[in-house]
Amino acid sequence: MGKKILVTGGAGFIGSNFVRLLLKEPQIEKIRILDKLTYSGSVENLENVLDNPKVSFIQGDIIDFNVSAKAISNMNWVVNFAAESHVDRSLFDPSPFMATNVEGVRVLLELSRKHKIEKFLQVSTDEVYGSIIKYAADESTPLKPSSPYSASKAAADMLCNAYFVSYNVPVIIARSSNNYGPYQYPEKLIPRFVSLTLRKDKLPLFGNGKNIRDWLYVEDNCKALLLLLQKGILGEIYNIGASELHQNIEITKSMLDILNKPYDLITHVKDRLGHDKRYCINWEKIEKLGWKPQAKFIEKFTKTINWYKKREKWLNKKTEEAEEFYSQKSSNYKVK
């Protein structure tokens, strides 16, 4: 029997790439997407997907119990991508992060319990470990989130564990590193900098630009998530990384090389508050299930940059909105 799957946040960056992967998977009989369509979600991200008869779409908020109940009914699996996902926005106003990323997850867990869902996959992040100056965090490393965003994701992980232990809700947690690839909203480093470069604007590198992230191609992440649904052990946590550790300044210079633009577009600006210096995770646990990232970094990074370059009109439209946040709010963190 095929599986019916609810994908929350399926109109966002990783969610829309995941739905595309599911469409190639014969085991998947039905895909239902629940998405609020916040500023970062868009049905444009689901071009050539929504007309597939396997796919249905509900616009709604995961916090809304009745909407989520309707979305979850008759499903076998739930994958939760729905989240407020941008660190800088969480520093400006944490409240929507607590609402969606914590209370929203509670609603989905409660409904998964009620509807006897077979598997609930929570898409978490390597940011829950905080800055890892040396070595690599494994799944038992204590959580030390630095931003309201990562604190909200850590809280959701704890809630998932509590629902597994207390109510046997069949939860699996995936902690992925920084994804890159198509359909990412241009508030995030790579699409933002491609867009600003094409507009001949300055590239605001936070602080000294030496912060390190582990860059994982989105398709590899999606394959890992699918594998966890198929083979992951209930109640367990799995790190998903690529061991592609690069400083932001290196990423920026490679991007400028690919676009054949000068380095003097780079401008160092005031650092992000609480800016994590380095993320690095050990992903041997998922490797033992039979997953390895396939992407060759420079090849997929170049492909990603060219994907955005070809969609300059779309990128420009999104950039107008994204830059409004940075110009009006980000240097003016709210004190509540």
In the complex, the residues that contact ligand TDX under the rule CB under 6 A are 85-87, 125, 127, 178, 188-189, 192, 204-206, 211, 213, 248, 272
CB of 57 to ligand NAD, least distance (A): 11
Q: Which among ligand NAD, ligand TDX, none contacts residue 239 (Cβ within 5 to 8 A by kind)? A: none
Helical H runs in the chain? 13-22, 65-72, 87-92, 95-98, 105-114, 148-167, 189-198, 218-231, 248-259, 284-287, 297-310, 312-328
What are the structure tokens assigned to 289, written together? 């299930």
Segment contacting ligand NAD (CB under 6 A): 5-13, 22-30, 230-238, 259-267?
5-13
Q: Which among ligand NAD, ligand TDX, none contacts residue 204 (Cβ within 5 to 8 A by kind)? A: ligand TDX
Is the CA virtual torsion 6, 12, 14, 16 positive or negative? positive
Q: Which among ligand NAD, ligand TDX, none contacts residue 189 (Cβ within 5 to 8 A by kind)? A: ligand TDX
Q: Which amino acid is at 325?
A: F
CB of 36 to ligand NAD, least distance (A): 4
Nearer residue to ligand TDX within complex by CB, 272 or 329: 272
On the 0-12 / 13-18 / 19+ scale of CB atoms within 10 A, 211 is buried
Task: Determine the length of the chain.
Answer: 336
CB of 153 to ligand TDX, least distance (A): 7
Q: How far apart are CA 16 and CA 107, in angstroms?
A: 22
Q: How far apart are CA 88 and CA 325, in angstroms?
A: 9
Q: How far apart are CA 301 and CA 82, in angstroms?
A: 25
Query: Which residue of the set 129, 149, 183, 238 is catalytic?
Result: 149
127 is catalytic: yes
Q: 52 to 81, contacts with ligand NAD by CB under 6 A? A: 61-63, 81
Q: How far apart are CA 11 and CA 254, in angstroms?
A: 29
On the 0-12 / 13-18 / 19+ scale of CB atoms within 10 A, 290 is exposed
Is the CA virtual torsion 225, 230, 232, 233 positive or negative? positive
Under the binding rule (CB under 6 A), the answer on residue 192 touching ligand NAD is no
Q: Which among ligand TDX, ligand NAD, none contacts residue 192 (Cβ within 5 to 8 A by kind)? A: ligand TDX
Residue nearest to ligand TDX (CB): 125
CB of 327 to ligand NAD, least distance (A): 20
How many residues sit in the footprint of ligand NAD (CB under 6 A)?
30
Segment contacting ligand NAD (CB under 6 A): 107-115, 174-182, 266-274, 278-286?
174-182
279 is catalytic: no
CB of 206 to ligand TDX, least distance (A): 4
The separation between CA 276 and the C-alpha centre of its own chain, rounded to angstroms, equals 17
Query: Which residue of the set 35, 61, 88, 127 is catalytic?
Result: 127
Rg (CA), the chain: 19
Q: Which among ligand TDX, ligand NAD, none contacts residue 248 (Cβ within 5 to 8 A by kind)? A: ligand TDX
| Helices 105-114, 148-167: inter-axial angle, 10-degree rounding | 20
Under the binding rule (CB under 6 A), the answer on residue 94 touching ligand NAD is no
Segment contacting ligand NAD (CB under 6 A): 32-40, 230-238, 254-262, 289-297?
32-40
CB of 42 to ligand TDX, least distance (A): 17
Nearest to 228 by CA among 72, 123, 104: 123
326 is catalytic: no
Taking a C-beta distance cutoff of 8 angstroms, is the pair 140, 292 a contact? Answer: no
User: Residues in the site for ligand NAD, rule: CB under 6 A?
Assistant: 8-9, 11-15, 35-38, 40-41, 61-63, 81-85, 100, 104, 123, 125, 153, 176, 178-179, 185
Residues identified as active-site? 126-127, 149
